[in-house]
Amino acid sequence: MGRGFDRLATFYAIIETLAFGSLLQKSRCEFLDLVSSGQSILILGDGDGRFVQELLQQKTNLHIRLVDFSRSMLEETRKKTVKWAAMNGHAVEFEHADILEIAPYPPGAFDLVCSHFFLDCFNEETIQRLADHILQALKAEGMWMITDFDMPKKGWKALRARLWISIMYLFFGIVTGLKTKDLPDYRPILRQKGMIMQIQKARCFSMIRSECWIRKRS
């Protein structure tokens, strides 16, 4: 699948803008004011790096590890961020890998995890494994920021979202080889593992949702 996303790297922003304008980027950056300078952050699959670029511009002295299984997406991110990393004192590590195949990070290694339009690439069984892998490395009272597509409960918003989401899964299935065809219900999984949703914001007639989850202190 990584090679499939490699084919999109150069054109990803154009495709996104044609479909949604600036809505996805605004949603990714919804809770940037909750990020503190100096934090250690794990970023999962940031696409072509526009979120990381904005993060590095706004904050200072962050320690960031960015993991993506698309080498071309990582390279696009590197181009966008090298200048801001140097200017604002950030340490940024790029890791070309499947997050599930990486050796576990040290317990409590990260203050914050960010995954924007990432969990929708997986089924719920895989998200169970992913959450176990990630949460052991998240500090107590650490934060997980998630932005993703969502399915409204009923009415015309649900019909509209179902059409859009079906088209997107069809497109990414053809172009990247993505096997997932339905949005996963990740929220019960996170709650089961001790996460509490602190704040959320819906956009695009409730089809896009930004959320901030906090890990309960055990």
In percent, the amount of the chain with pLDDT more than 70 equals 98
CA 10, 112, 126, 183 dihedral sign is: negative
φ/ψ of 45, rounded to 5, equals 55, 65
- What pLDDT does residue 191 have? 97
Q: How far apart are CA 162 and CA 110, in angstroms?
A: 35
Q: Which domains does the chain have, with CATH numbers?
A: 2-215 (3.40.50.150)
Say which amino acid occupies 130: L
Burial 7-41 (b: 16+ CB within 10 A, else e): ebbeebbeebeeebeeebbbbbbbbeeebeeebbb
* The model scores a pTM over 0.85: yes
- What pLDDT does residue 207 have? 98
Cβ neighbours for 210, distance < 8 A, ≥ 6 positions apart:
27, 28, 30, 31, 145, 146, 147, 200, 201, 203
The pLDDT of residue 3 is above 80: no
Q: How far apart are CA 47 and CA 22, in angstroms?
A: 15
Helices and strands: H and E segment counts in the chain: 8, 7
- What pLDDT does residue 217 have? 80
In the predicted model, what is the mean pLDDT of residues 158-185? Answer: 96
